[in-house]
Chain A
Amino acid sequence: MRPSDIAFRLYLVALFTFVFLPILTSMVFSLNSDRFPTVPLGEFTTHWYKTAFSRPEVWTAFGNSLIVAVCAAALSTALGFVTAYTDFRYGFRFKPAYLALALLPPTIPLVIMGLAMLAWLGRLGISGTLSGIVVAHTVMGAPFAMAICRLRLSQMDPALEAAAWNLGASQWRAMRAVVIPFCLPALISAYCLTAAVSFDEFIVAWFVSGLNKTVPVMILEILQGNVDPQINAIGTVVFLTSMALVIVAQLLILRKTNA
């Protein structure tokens, strides 16, 4: 092995250590019998998981997060796909502005977004409800879904859709029979990714969730009370869930595409 290869490998190891060590630490302590995160470690235990998941509010929070993630991901993906498709199919005068606006939400500071959502959803009378969180997370997830769908559509031969019309498919039929099947890997990928975004999102949810807490909001509230290894247990579950979603999304995006 050449020295540059060794250096590169070392760099990769260092990078992954840097990124994942904190999470790994949290996972390790979630299985540690000591109440405080200290070394040497105590004994192996699943106690914290049992305690955490025997609390009804933890289950409620997981249920809330799940409902919100499922709904917000569906809406984000639908919105993102439609936006990407208009970009693919049509040319119009203010297209650059349209695209810039569609991609804007992730650049808005989360605190601002949270406050704005709180004010806006309050007006609509859905602040503090799960629907409110769904709306907020849809806004936040749609740009990611759009980016993924645009990438896939850019690999599509424009003649493919016209070929469907030419063979007797109406515009809607061609959309169902050709465009959506072609984009299916991207749609699933976008769904997983936006579900993960929603599942993990804390700041905006904290502003708009009210009494219907999602998991990240609940974690912070437990943490404000005391240091409790149950947090590590819940955090590990959250991390593994979103990691799984992101991995599925990545696999579908990177899968060899046969356009």
Chain B
Amino acid sequence: MATHLRPSTAAPPTRDAPAPGAHRPREKLLSRLDRGGSPYLFIAPFFLLFAVFGLYPLGYTAWVSLHDWTISGKGDYVGLANYRQLFGDPDFWNALGNTLGMLVVATVPQLVLALIVASLLNQQLRAMTFLRLGILLPIVTSVAAVGIVFSQIFDRDAGMANGLLGLVGVHPVDWRADKWSSWLAISTMVDWRWTGYNSLIYLAAMQAIPRELYEAAAVDGAGRIRQLRSITVPMIRPAVIFTVISSTIAGMQLFTEPLIFGQGPDAISGGSLRQFQTVSMFMFEKAFRNFDYGYGSAVAWMIFLVIMLLTAINFFIVRRMK
């Protein structure tokens, strides 16, 4: 493919040909401008929008975070005091721990499951299209609906989860009272929604693996598991890296599921002892419940930095793997 895309030096821009004589120098300038400038013009809309809706708020948030900014508006410039307070705030570290914890609890089984589902779908089955569409269905469901339904499943008194546990003689679990149980419930919601999406990405990557490799492996006596480990996984590594990075970013921004899971008027605190409060919930609580905008902005910037850090770690791992 690449050879076709190489610009051919032999063919001059056809537009120049019919314009004769007089306006030549100006035309030349215009066409040079056109060639040098128009690509930038074409990508400009994105960067303009990014500057207005991405860069500017980012900068403004940084500016707010350096002030004592409350409900009555901008107060004194306080330098890094908000950040200093943040580093000493146990609730922030708790929220960060919860977020990273749920990230691991949700992502690891999700990707493993997605891999298994994808390899099951990557063979001749009946009703293939139906199955492939089916695993993608959860992604169309609204997060709020998922949150509400799963909150009822993980209800302490009348929930289905406790009902099933009761059948095998396990005492009812108060899902919101402990870290482990609330993390598990919330991770289930995340996984239910995203496993199908990830397995579709894996499936696409798997379809690109040449069949001969499997045939050769089969001739050499490799079983299904061995084929998965030695052929499939190494061959779809780029897809795996992509899903890991996108799951990491999504996991750092986890908000709606725990918020709906929390219930009650004070759900933003994520449980009586902040068992499942994520960093984005913590930010929202500080900025929009306590109206401490300066502090909330400092939290927002810390989330940004943590995501950057995680992405950088991902990036270096990827580079080493190459």
Chain A bound to chain B: no
